[in-house]
């Protein structure tokens, strides 16, 4: 029998522990949510009710950015990496410690970290950094060498690099205006690295960012014969497979005819080669 | 405390039904909700064959509501019976299958196939989806069309038949009456209101299908009014829906005339809504000393208001 949910999600009336404002547009919001923290796997997400009322009505999906631990090392909470874009994310940029928000999770198909000798290359664009802290921790636990290719428009929009460096991840930065790291999009250093790497050395790509960037990375991975997983973000109604809002056109595991596939329960992590990129909406 | 009701030969333990299109095929929620505790589960609309539905974007939020144009993506009746129904049966769900057709013959064929399947308890006829061009709503927007599809399905099944009515007509009560005359065991209403949202910066519609159906608390007062009108027009049970978010909302529909209610959009917001609604209904019954919940159905008091409280 098909399995529809890998684990039972819980809905927590979660207290905000901290709202760390990184800039006018970005903040890291931490919640007390021990049950979600204990069950979370790399790349999973939560659905957050951003208002106490009915506008906005629906919850918003957010990757679990960090799993927070208490003094004894027990999972105590989670954080999200929020970029102010619309009404819901604006509300989340303004919340204060002590407020409570409904947080449902953990949800979705997680990343599968590779084992050594394979290396893991994480590729993040902008707010697409969100799912990679949890993945980096899982990779470190396996002893898998990891690199983060992280791109943004300018230096001020590169955040939390120290988190990755502390985990032993090699970080390769790029900015479109050249104000930090390599000038150009993240695909420039990624393409160079793929060119340089001999086929005998296995590597798997993990990508999250704007749709055109993920499409470009998927093409690079395909051209170099490398495995590539993407974490897709679509407009989501429920996060549990009930509404069929968040579909992308994706081929089945057998590579057959593509179908509208729910990113909430069949994703958000997909093998990039399954995705019909020309049909993916988003920005 | 008796929360039960009957629709034709079917007994529901309580009036809370998961609305079609808002609960997948039920199995998606089996680890979140004990499906056997719901009055029923109305599964996503099924045609004879699989359908891909519309391309995204398929939903957009509006104040206290949402527009959807999913386009009835679905796995078709045969895969449903083979791949989903066994788990629903094992979980003890009361299964109401929402059936669709592009032709009268397709409704009849789908109804016939489901009537032979073990574990299907009732058929809800989708003659009201605003998001597909062919079939469906063309039956639901014509009185003879409604009568014809209900009587044709009635002839081939002994399961309770529940046509789901569209609010996108001038007089929904006349459609309820047409359904009753054709042998429906109940009617459910309302499906979504045809609506539109535009991005003013790009001047493009926010849905790929251009238009979609509005649901959620925004539509509730209109839906309550329509249930009230239908209650005065028909004797058969009414399944009311439209933005129910609290036990009070569910009770409002029942007092207007609904025997049962469906919860759709708000299940997206809170998948654990079911026990909260049931607890709230039980509290209300205790507070108002109501032993049998069906006793409140259609009891809205529209007589001239008593003046005493004004002068006091």
Of A85, A87, A83, A95, nearest to A23 by C-alpha is: A83
Peptide bond into A106 cis (omega under 30): yes
CB-neighbour burial class of residue B105 (10 A; exposed 0-12, middle 13-18, buried 19+): exposed
Q: How far apart are CA A264 and CA A9, in angstroms?
A: 13
- Put simply, the answer to whether A237 touches B66 (Cβ < 8 Å) is yes
Average of per-residue pLDDT across B201-213:
96
- pLDDT higher than threshold 60 for residue A1: no
Asked if this assembly's ipTM is beyond 0.85, the reply is: yes
- Residue B205 placed within a domain: no
Looking at residue B137, its pLDDT comes to 74
Mutation target for A interface from B19, B23, B27, B28: give the one with most A CBs within 10 A.
Answer: B28
Looking at residue A5, its pLDDT comes to 47
Query: Under the phi-then-psi rule, with left for phi > 0, alpha for psi from -120 to 50, and beta for the rest, what region is A121?
Result: beta
Looking at residue B128, its pLDDT comes to 80
Residue B196 carries which DSSP code?
E
- Residue B282 placed within a domain: yes
Peptide bond into A56 cis (omega under 30): yes
Q: How far apart are CA B123 and CA B141, in angstroms?
A: 20
Looking at residue B77, its pLDDT comes to 97
Looking at residue A254, its pLDDT comes to 64
Cβ B46 vs Cβ B24: under 8 Å? no
CATH topology of domain A119-233: Rossmann fold (3.40.50)
CB-neighbour burial class of residue A128 (10 A; exposed 0-12, middle 13-18, buried 19+): buried
Compare CB distances from B269 to A1, A57, A234 and report the shortest one's residue.
A57
- pLDDT higher than threshold 60 for residue A283: no
Taking contacts as CB-CB distances below 8 angstroms, the residues of chain B near A242 are: 22-24, 28-29, 267-268, 271
Looking at residue A280, its pLDDT comes to 83
A27 min Cα distance to partner chain B (Å)? 24
- Residue B23 placed within a domain: yes
DSSP string over A226-280? -EEEEE-----SSSSSSS--SEEEE--TTS-S-EEEETTTT-BEEEGGGB-GGG-
Taking contacts as CB-CB distances below 8 angstroms, the residues of chain B near A4 are: 27-28, 30-31
Q: Establish how many alpha carbons lie within 13 A of residue A207's alpha carbon, considering only the half-sphere containing its beta carbon.
A: 28
Domains of chain A, residue spans: 10-107, 119-233
Average of per-residue pLDDT across A266-282:
90
Q: A44-57 burial by CB neighbour count: b if 16+ within 10 A, else e?
A: bbbbbbbeeebebb
- Residue B202 placed within a domain: no
Average pLDDT, chain B: 94
Looking at residue B303, its pLDDT comes to 87
Write the pLDDT tens digit of every residue in B115-127: 999 999 999 999 9
CB-neighbour burial class of residue B225 (10 A; exposed 0-12, middle 13-18, buried 19+): middle
Average of per-residue pLDDT across B64-77:
96
Helix (H) or strand (E) holding A92: helix A87-94
Cβ A174 vs Cβ A184: under 8 Å? yes
Compare CB distances from B269 to A5, A7, A59 and report the shortest one's residue.
A59
Looking at residue A2, its pLDDT comes to 46
Looking at residue A8, its pLDDT comes to 85
Pick among 3.20.20.140, 2.40.30.10, 3.40.50.970, 2.30.40.10: CATH of A10-107: 2.40.30.10
Compare CB distances from B59 to A5, A235, A279 and report the shortest one's residue.
A235
Average pLDDT, chain A: 94
Q: How far is CA A59 from CA A101, A248, B107, B193, in A?
A: 10, 20, 35, 22
CATH of the domain at B141: 3.20.20.70
Q: How far apart are CA A236 and CA A213, in angstroms?
A: 21
The answer to whether A265 contacts chain B (CB < 8 Å) is yes
Q: Which domain holds residue B257?
A: 5-50+70-193+213-311
Q: Distance between alpha carbon A42 and the CA centroid of its chain, in Å?
A: 9
- Put simply, the answer to whether A240 touches B63 (Cβ < 8 Å) is no
Mutation target for A interface from B215, B244, B269: give the one with most A CBs within 10 A.
Answer: B269
**Quick one: what percent of chain B has pLDDT higher than 90?**
92
B68 min Cα distance to partner chain A (Å)? 8
pTM comes to 0.94
Looking at residue B10, its pLDDT comes to 97
Query: Under the phi-then-psi rule, with left for phi > 0, alpha for psi from -120 to 50, and beta for the rest, what region is A239?
Result: left
What confidence category does residue A34 fall into, taking pLDDT thresholds of 50, 70 and 90? very high
- Put simply, the answer to whether B217 touches A57 (Cβ < 8 Å) is yes
A window 8-27, beta carbon within 8 A of B: 8-9, 11
Active-site positions of B? 129
Domain count, chain B: 1
Residues in chain B: 312
The answer to whether A46 contacts chain B (CB < 8 Å) is no
The answer to whether A211 contacts chain B (CB < 8 Å) is no
Of B1, B3, B10, nearest to B236 by C-alpha is: B10
Helix (H) or strand (E) holding A105: strand A100-107
Compare CB distances from B24 to A7, A11, A241 and report the shortest one's residue.
A241
A26 min Cα distance to partner chain B (Å)? 23
Q: How far apart are CA B77 and CA B113, in angstroms?
A: 8
Closest residue in B to A52 (Cα–Cα): B269
- Put simply, the answer to whether A243 touches B22 (Cβ < 8 Å) is yes
Q: How far is CA A162 from CA A133, A168, A256, B97, in A?
A: 11, 10, 42, 53
Of A151, A154, A120, nearest to A136 by C-alpha is: A120
Looking at residue A256, its pLDDT comes to 78
Strands B5-7 and B10-12: antiparallel
What confidence category does residue A4 fall into, taking pLDDT thresholds of 50, 70 and 90? very low
């Amino acid at each position: 029998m098909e399995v529809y949910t890998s684990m039972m999600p819980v809905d927590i009336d979660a207290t905000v522990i901290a709202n760390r404002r990184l800039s006018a547009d970005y903040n890291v919001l931490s919640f007390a949510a021990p049950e979600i923290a204990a069950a979370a796997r790399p790349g999973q997400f939560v659905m957050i009710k951003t208002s106490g009322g009915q506008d906005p009505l629906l919850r918003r999906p957010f990757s679990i950015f960090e799993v927070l631990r208490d003094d004894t090392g027990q999972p105590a909470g989670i954080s999200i990496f929020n970029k102010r874009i619309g009404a819901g994310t604006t509300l989340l940029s303004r919340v204060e410690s002590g407020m409570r928000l409904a947080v449902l999770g953990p949800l979705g198909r997680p990343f599968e970290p590779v084992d050594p000798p394979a290396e893991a290359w994480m590729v993040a664009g902008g707010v697409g950094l969100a799912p990679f802290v949890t993945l980096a921790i899982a990779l470190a636990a396996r002893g898998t060498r990891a690199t983060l290719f992280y791109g943004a428009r300018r230096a001020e929009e590169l955040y939390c690099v120290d988190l990755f460096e502390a985990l032993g991840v090699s970080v390769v930065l790029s900015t479109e205006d050249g104000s930090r790291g390599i000038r150009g999009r993240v695909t420039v250093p990624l393409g160079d690295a793929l060119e340089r790497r001999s086929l005998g050395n296995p590597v798997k790509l993990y990508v999250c960012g704007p749709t055109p960037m993920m499409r470009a990375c998927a093409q690079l991975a395909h051209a170099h014969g490398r495995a590539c997983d993407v974490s897709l973000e679509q407009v989501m109604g429920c996060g549990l497979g009930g509404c069929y809002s968040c579909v992308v056109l994706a081929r089945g595991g057998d590579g057959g005819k593509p179908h509208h596939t729910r990113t909430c329960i069949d994703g958000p992590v997909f093998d990039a080669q399954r995705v019909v990129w020309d049909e993916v909406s988003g920005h | 405390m008796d929360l039960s009701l009957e629709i034709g030969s079917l007994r529901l333990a309580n009036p809370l039904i998961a609305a079609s299109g808002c609960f997948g095929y039920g199995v998606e929620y089996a680890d979140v909700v004990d499906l056997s505790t719901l009055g029923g589960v109305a599964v996503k609309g099924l045609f004879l064959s699989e359908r891909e539905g519309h391309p995204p974007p398929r939903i957009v939020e509006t104040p206290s509501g949402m527009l959807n144009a999913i386009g009835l993506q679905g796995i078709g009746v045969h895969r449903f019976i083979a791949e989903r129904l066994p788990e629903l049966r094992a979980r003890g769900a009361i299964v109401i299958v929402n059936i669709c057709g592009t032709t009268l013959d397709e409704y009849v064929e789908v109804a016939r196939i489901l009537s032979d399947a073990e574990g299907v308890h009732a058929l809800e006829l989708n003659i009201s989806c605003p998001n597909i061009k062919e079939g469906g709503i063309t039956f639901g927007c014509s009185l003879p069309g409604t009568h014809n599809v209900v009587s044709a399905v009635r002839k081939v099944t002994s399961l309770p038949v529940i046509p789901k009515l569209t609010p996108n007509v001038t007089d929904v009560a006349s459609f309820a009456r047409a359904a009753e005359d054709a042998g429906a065991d109940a009617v459910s209403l309302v499906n979504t209101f045809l609506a539109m949202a535009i991005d003013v910066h790009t001047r493009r519609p926010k849905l790929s299908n251009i238009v979609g159906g509005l649901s959620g608390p925004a539509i509730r007062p209109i839906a309550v009014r329509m249930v009230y009108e239908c209650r005065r027009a028909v004797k058969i049970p009414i399944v009311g829906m439209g933005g129910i978010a609290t036990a009070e909302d569910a009770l409002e529909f029942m007092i207007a005339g609904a025997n049962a209610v469906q919860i759709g959009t708000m299940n997206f917001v809170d998948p654990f809504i079911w026990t909260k609604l049931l607890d709230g209904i039980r509290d209300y019954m205790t507070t108002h000393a109501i032993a049998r919940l069906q006793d409140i159905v259609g009891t809205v008091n529209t007589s001239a208001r008593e003046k005493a409280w004004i002068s006091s």
